[in-house]
């Protein structure tokens, strides 16, 4: 079974600074998908960014980018120019594709200091 | 992206009763999923609900406790049966937009149903 590990229960960063959230996963598959979801206090899950394992290029979405290291099974999220609205729980998730649901890590609580 | 609504948004229930949670999508989707998020925890997949077939349950979840219906391509229900305080959680549905209509393997989530069992 696949597992997703987020080793940072909580991270704190100053507004406008850069922060990196860590995620590692375990799978025997060669083709899969990785995601970062954001869950603010409203509890609505919001997709931040996704990465297909067959793509070598790291995904970017505006201030959000990932560092995908397939051999190391590592998938970190970098948030640049942090904003107060970025404060939330961030979940790393894995999908094997097809009819698979998502396997989530335990989450990282991101605090933005004004 | 698909717009998903859930009813009720929250409920407080007595031990031993059952609650049915509805999930409505504004477009036709093949695959729907139900997740549980226990207080302060991550999301755990309960089951996959595809229209026209029986739901597929993950380890630790059984149909007698969490019966699911999927009568059409825009609607699903999850029932939490014979509830106990341990069932107090947020229950979320999600959908995966069909490959021809959206990005494959990208799931969108409903707002969740917060259930408290006394």
Among chain A residues, CA nearest to B4: A44
pLDDT value for B99: 59
CA atoms lying within 13 Å on the CB side of residue A54: 4
Residue A74 banded pLDDT, cuts 50, 70, 90: very high
Average pLDDT for residues A78-104, to the nearest whole number? 93
Contact A45 B109 (CB under 8 A): yes
Q: Which of A91, A95, A101 is facing B42, going by the closest CB pair?
A: A91
- pLDDT, tens digit (0-9, with 9 covering 90-100), for A9-67: 999 999 999 999 999 999 999 889 999 999 998 888 999 999 999 998 999 999 999 99
Q: What does the pLDDT profile of chain B (118 residues) look like in tens digits?
A: 789 999 999 999 999 999 999 999 999 888 899 999 999 899 999 999 988 788 999 999 999 999 999 999 999 999 999 999 999 999 999 998 765 555 666 889 999 999 999 9
Q: Chain A residues with CB inside 8 Å of B106's CB? A: 35, 47, 50
Q: Which of B42, B103, B111 is facing A104, going by the closest CB pair?
A: B42
Whether the link from the prior residue into B8 is cis, omega within 30° of 0, is: yes
Name every residue whose Cβ is closer than 8 Å to that of residue B53 and which is 6 or more positions away in sequence.
none
Residue A70 banded pLDDT, cuts 50, 70, 90: very high
Is the pLDDT at A84 greater than 80? The verdict is yes
Average pLDDT for residues A98-104, to the nearest whole number? 86
């Amino acid at each position: 079974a696949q597992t997703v590990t987020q080793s940072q229960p909580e991270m704190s960063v100053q507004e406008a600074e850069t922060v990196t959230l860590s995620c590692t996963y375990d799978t025997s598959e060669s083709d899969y998908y990785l995601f970062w979801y954001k869950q603010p206090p409203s509890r609505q899950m919001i997709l931040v960014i996704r990465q297909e394992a067959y793509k070598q290029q790291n995904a970017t979405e505006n201030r959000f980018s990932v560092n995908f290291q397939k051999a190391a099974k590592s998938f970190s999220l970098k948030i640049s120019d942090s904003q107060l609205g970025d404060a939330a729980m961030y979940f790393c998730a894995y999908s094997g594709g097809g009819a698979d649901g998502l396997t989530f890590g335990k989450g990282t609580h991101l605090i933005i200091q004004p | 992206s698909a717009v998903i609504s859930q009813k009720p948004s929250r409920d407080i229930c007595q031990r031993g009763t059952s609650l049915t949670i509805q999930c409505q999508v504004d477009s036709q989707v093949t695959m729907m999923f139900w997740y549980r998020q226990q207080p302060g925890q991550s999301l755990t997949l309960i089951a996959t609900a595809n229209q026209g077939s029986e739901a597929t349950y993950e380890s630790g979840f059984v149909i007698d406790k969490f019966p699911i219906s999927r009568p059409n391509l825009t609607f699903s229900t999850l029932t939490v049966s014979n509830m106990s305080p341990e069932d107090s959680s947020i229950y979320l549905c999600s959908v995966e937009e069909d490959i021809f209509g959206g990005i494959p393997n990208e799931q969108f989530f409903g707002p969740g149903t917060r259930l408290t069992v006394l």
